[in-house]
A and B are shown apart, each in its own frame.
Chain A
């Protein structure tokens, strides 16, 4: 189905989020949509999918002007959207989740739904347990479920708002294959992303938004410079790699085990030096997330010892961890990171180091203004956090970590950040590590990011962690194999066989 935007305008108070956007997307096309944080991508997509209405302009489907009054109205027209921050998932089973969205009759037809589920699954190589509870699924699996649901409801236009930020490489491969198949069937796909290589791999064409306006439409052959200059107006240098620090050990894990309902992790032995950056790689749910929460004090170890600067912490509460200057930044911004309904100023007030009885709002606002400038958050001190764009919420999360720390634990730190901000944020993080001796452990599904910014890398597979690998001497290819569960020796042997000219590692 051909989708056409004509002169779309959308204002939120003083923010002009979409400024007269004209864009035509032919049926069967995978259209990339790029742009800096707050450029207006999600806004445009929400207009198309009926979550918000535009102030001006119209939308044409196959040349016919339509009004899209609501998400339900959108799906009736065949438009479905996968959101940047997945909407709340009720504690339902997979199949029920499909059924509540259904619009056929009063009594849900479980058998038909099950059959449809199976059909769509085999078509795309997904495998969801229809009786599993949705809240036990990984982000990638929820995404598959949502995709299945939209297809089942008959979506012919699919909008994916930054779908790859929380999923692992193999899940991404699966998702891309599914999208290609869907496009080949004549469906229109709009793919919002910050990652150029995804555009190169997947999209037939791309459009770039900047400050609410459409500034470029780009077709292959793609050139990185074209994108970068359209998005930011200047080049962004890749920061140089730095040698690992040679400081004293800070965090020590001794035969630590931890578990949740799905997975047993460990035992893990790890010593992290002050100022060291450790990347945790692995398929989603392989145990790296549990290790991070363990180090944050949000999970108790089932065995082993944890010490920070020589002080035992394995029996400490989360608040004792906080007082030991350990801080955690969750990936799920709006459920674990920020409090919807509170403003930026209120967040910074809560985050302040010393609390009197009365809030000094003048000072809190001052802090908010400073942090907004420092992290270039697009918003005002009084903006409620839920009104910020995804990337700006992420910046807010990072801005809340500014107190001096010994240990910083980050889940997908640059999730949803545009390239420029990701580079900037990492520059700041690395400075903290080197200058203040803050040790950083972070999870990322972006292997390039892991290798670029870590000193050492831990690869997780099914709850087992590899020995720490020096990032400088590990390749993306090796990392990819390790994540897939190939043992280290085999990886080394294969890679060395293929690359005999490289010096032995």
Chain B
């Protein structure tokens, strides 16, 4: 019976995806663009060559880390909108830590390790702030998250144009690049670091185990579903709310650290690249089931990479990928809602 429900669930999801594609095709038609060509361009843009496939995987890394973190906060019933800021703080802390190692003579491996840990701490602290505001100030995490995101962005800009500015004039292209040996080693001839991929898979695995098999996960879930009853049952719900934020922040911070050490090698103005918000979409699309995180994150990454071609070839804005990503979530949620209603009445 349970298996059956899974199959039905998967079918419903596929219907939702089909509807989303049809919706985007309609939009394309309305704007006078050829939908099939656009879609085939998306596909070749994402999978047309080994290099592109590697790009897709590299793009999926921070997205997966953000999604894994968000699966924890969602389990605890929290809308951690502040994840963007947490990624940003992760990047800032990583750059800050790595700067200390410049010309220090320390082995680069140690520097990178410290940088990554610093990034996690940065993300964790920023998330803890949202958690504390919620617990002690009664501030809804959505509002504090928006505020903290704004602060994080401002802090990045200030650092880029202030203390960490490039010698001479600061520029929007970011801070002075860190020494190349402070970057995660990349695979030969490819713009991807095996370390980053492993880290992101590890993140997913840990969250899977945490939510499936541990008391912490169960208590987070209980708190998310009914905080009052959980409290009466003896769960220190405030503490678990904070734990959820911090765990998510650690993973988000790691995503920020990966953005620095595996991609940009410096601090740039929008270092989080929207992966946090995208992670929210992925988490909703997979209905908070951890195992689906990997394929769906890859799919979303493919949309991002694939759409790079669109403006050049079809004079379509690459934000089309965003439209498709949003439409997917929307339609899958609608189908879910319909199913829910049918089942309740059924």
Contact = CB atoms under 8 A, between A and B. Distances in A.
B215 A342 contact: no
A340 B226 CA distance: 7
A408 to B, nearest CB: 14
Nearest to B228: A336
Given A357-B214, A359-B218, A342 B225 contact: yes
B213 interface: yes
A97 to B, nearest CB: 21
Given A341-B221, A359-B218, 13 more contacts: A52-B345, A70-B345, A319-B236, A336-B229, A337-B229, A340-B226, A342-B221, A349-B215, A350-B219, A350-B222, A350-B235, A351-B233, A359-B213
Contacts of A340: 225-226
A328 interface: yes
A346 B223 CA distance: 13
Interface in A325-384: 328, 330, 334-342, 346-347, 349-351, 355-359, 361
B318 interface: no
A433 B212 CA distance: 38
Contacts of A342: 218, 221-222, 225
Nearest to A351: B233
B188 interface: no
Interface residues of A, number: 32
Nearest to A323: B234
Contacts of B344: 52
Contacts of A336: 228-229, 232
A397 to B, nearest CB: 10
Interface string A80-119: 0000000000000000000000000000000000000000
A74 to B, nearest CB: 12
B1 interface: yes
A400 interface: yes
Nearest to A349: B218
A3 to B, nearest CB: 20
Q: Determine the interface band of chain B, counting residues with CB < 8 A from chain A.
A: 20 to 34
Interface string A53-72: 10000000000000001100
A189 B225 CA distance: 35
Interface of B: 1, 213-216, 218-219, 221-222, 225-226, 228-236, 344-346
Nearest to B227: A339
Name which of B218, B228, B231, B232 has the most chain A CB atoms within 10 A of its CB: B232
B228 to A, nearest CB: 6
B214 A359 contact: yes
A359 B211 CA distance: 11
B229 A356 contact: no
A378 B234 CA distance: 25
Contacts of B221: 341-342, 346
Contacts of A69: 345
A342 B75 CA distance: 12
Chain B binding surface SS class: helix
B232 A328 contact: yes
B53 to A, nearest CB: 37
B88 to A, nearest CB: 32
A339 B232 contact: no
Contacts of A322: 234
A335 B229 contact: yes
B346 A335 contact: no
Given A53-B345, A358-B214, A359-B214, A339 B219 contact: no
Interface string A275-294: 00000000000000000000
A13 interface: yes
A351 B230 CA distance: 10
Given A70-B345, A359-B213, A346 B225 contact: no
A346 B233 CA distance: 12
Nearest to A382: B2
Given A357-B215, A359-B214, A400-B233, A53 B228 contact: no
Nearest to B215: A355
A13 B213 contact: no
A349 B228 CA distance: 18
A334 B232 CA distance: 12
A400 B346 CA distance: 31
Contacts of B345: 52-53, 69-70
A299 interface: no
Interface in A403-455: none
A318 interface: yes
B208 to A, nearest CB: 13
B233 A341 contact: no
A340 to B, nearest CB: 6
Given A349-B218, A357-B215, A318 B231 contact: yes
A341 to B, nearest CB: 5
A322 B215 CA distance: 18
A119 to B, nearest CB: 35
A216 interface: no
Contacts of B232: 298, 328, 330, 336-337
A387 to B, nearest CB: 12
23 contacts: A52-B344, A70-B345, A298-B232, A319-B236, A335-B226, A335-B228, A336-B229, A336-B232, A338-B229, A339-B225, A339-B233, A340-B225, A341-B226, A342-B221, A346-B218, A346-B222, A349-B218, A350-B218, A350-B233, A351-B233, A358-B214, A359-B214, A361-B213
